Amino acid sequence: MRRRVYIAGPITRGDLCHNVNQATDAFVRLAKGGLAPLCPHWSVYSKPARPAGENGVYCTGTANGNDQMSHEDWMGVDLPWVAVADAVLRLPGESSGADCEVAEANRCGVPVFNTVAAVLEWAAWNKAA
């Protein structure tokens, strides 16, 4: 079974496009590496989608995601996932939310890594053990 990796990193601070792309890149690399990553950064798209031609939809990403959700609401959704993760990847950048997620991981004994390579190395070592 694939190990669950929660991706923690900035969303609202700094450049939104960079933050989402950084997390998406990590998601793809972890998934291709045989893991089961969860990317909360995609919550920026949590608005109704609109048709975008045949077989497509268009959804605008914004830093606050869905206007009905507060930062506390998002953390209430994210922290339970951190608690059941096998590992957390902390991406670079200032983020009070990601700092809370790392603190929760530490409280729950979930290992925290700062690079995709380190997560993949940990996963390979744990698979062999």
Residue 90: the pLDDT is 98
* Structure confidence at residue 6 as a pLDDT band (50, 70, 90): very high
Q: What is the pTM of this model?
A: 0.93
Residue 129: the pLDDT is 53
* Structure confidence at residue 4 as a pLDDT band (50, 70, 90): very high
| CATH code for the domain of 97 | 3.40.50.10400
d(CA 27, CA 39): 7
Out of 16-30, 56-70, 76-90, 111-125, pick the least confident. Answer: 56-70
Residue 100 backbone dihedrals phi, psi, to 5 degrees:
-65, -40
pLDDT in tens, 24-41: 999 999 999 999 999 999
Residue 87: the pLDDT is 98
Report yes or no on 61 lying in a domain: no
Q: How many structural domains compose the chain? A: 1
> Which own/partner pairs from 56-65 qualify as long-range (CB within 8 Å, at least 24 positions apart)?
61/16, 61/20, 62/16, 63/11, 63/12, 63/16, 64/12
Report yes or no on 76 lying in a domain: yes
Report yes or no on 99 lying in a domain: yes
Q: Are 36 and 68 in contact (CB under 8 A)?
A: no
Q: What is the dihedral of CA 48, 94, 74, 15, to 10 degrees?
A: -10
Residue 123: the pLDDT is 96
Report yes or no on 100 lying in a domain: yes
Domain that holds residue 108: 4-42+70-128
Q: Say yes or no to pLDDT of 18 above 60.
A: yes
pLDDT in tens, 72-93: 999 999 999 999 999 999 999 9
Q: Are 8 and 91 in contact (CB under 8 A)?
A: yes
Q: Are 23 and 37 in contact (CB under 8 A)?
A: no
